Amino acid sequence: MTEKLNEQLERVERASHAGKFGLYVGVTLAVLGVLLAFSAAMVGRERTEQIAAMVDQTKASMKHNGLSMKYRLLVAQLRQIHAQEIDPENYKKWDAESKKLASSIANADLAKVVRIVRLENAKTLDAEVPPESDVIKFAALAKAVKEQQKAAGRWVESFEGLVETHWIASEQLERAQVASEIGIVLASIALLLTSRYAWYGSMFLGLVSMAILLVTFVHTSIKENKAEAVITEARARYDDLAEKNQADMSDDDLIRDVGRDILPAINP
């Protein structure tokens, strides 16, 4: 009778232990479920932030490409203007020789004809050769666009750090998600087989998941702040140059000068 009573007590004790174990495993499953949901949400957030950074980088790249095209057009026009310019040394030499020959003509009527020819040549040169002030302004415009293009290029490059930060964070968070998923599997096995080793493994993977989440959060926050500071600085530099160029190279002066100019009527 005593032996049977002891056996019954042992069974009750084992059942009691099994109930507590099931409770512990259930709590572990709940924690792992929370970690899994949080990891998945963070992965989605990092992917979204990465895409947003890449979209902003594309917008900056479009500005850079537009400035590059504008600069190449300005350089092509500047080369054409430079090709139309007269060599100062040759011009002085030819002008001095022309004046010398004109002054040596004794016939008054012939001298008048020579004077007329020189005046017509001067009118032609004045119409074809751009003024020095306009050439200097055009060269300054090309130089300013080049500086703005470089600033836009640095602005585009500044996004690389932020994009890489979000990509690395999403990869790390996916590892935390996988650890939580495997932990849930082990906890389920522990509950079915009443295996403490499987339970220990699930708790270990839960700790691993939490560690990855914590380290990734801290590391990403630091990197993200630094990357955003670089982007803000590059954007500010680009905006300053764009505003300065807009103020220095306003077309109002050109329009006003052209409006004041009275073109001579050609009446031969």
**Domain co-membership, 231 together with 145:** yes
- Inform me whether the pLDDT recorded for 165 exceeds 90: yes
- State residue 48 phi and psi, 5-degree precision: -65, -45
Residues 103 and 217 in one domain: no
Instruction: Name the helix (H) or strand (E) containing 227.
Output: helix 196-248
| Residue 256 domain flag | no
Read off the pLDDT of residues 189-235 as tens digits, 9 standing for 90 and up. Answer: 888 888 889 999 999 999 999 999 999 999 999 999 999 999 999 99
Structure tokens at 107: 């016939």
Cα 144 to Cα 134: distance, rounded to the nearest angstrom: 15
Q: Are residues 24 and 73 in the same domain?
A: yes
Full DSSP string of 39-77: HHHHHHHHHHHHHHHHHHHHHHHHHHHHHHHHHHHHHHH
Q: Please tell me whether residues 143 and 64 are part of one structural domain.
A: yes
CA atoms within 13 A on the CB side of 37: 6
Which amino acid appears at position 27 of this protein? V
> Is 95 in the same domain as 164?
no
Residue 77 is assigned to a structural domain of this protein? yes
CATH number of the domain to which 160 belongs: 1.20.1270
According to DSSP, residue 264 is labeled P
Give the range of the structural domain holding residue 103, as residue numbers without chain letter: 86-129
What are the tens digits of pLDDT across the range 101-112? 667 766 776 666
Quick: pLDDT tens for 226-257: 999 999 999 999 999 888 877 655 556 655 66
Q: What pTM did the predictor assign?
A: 0.72
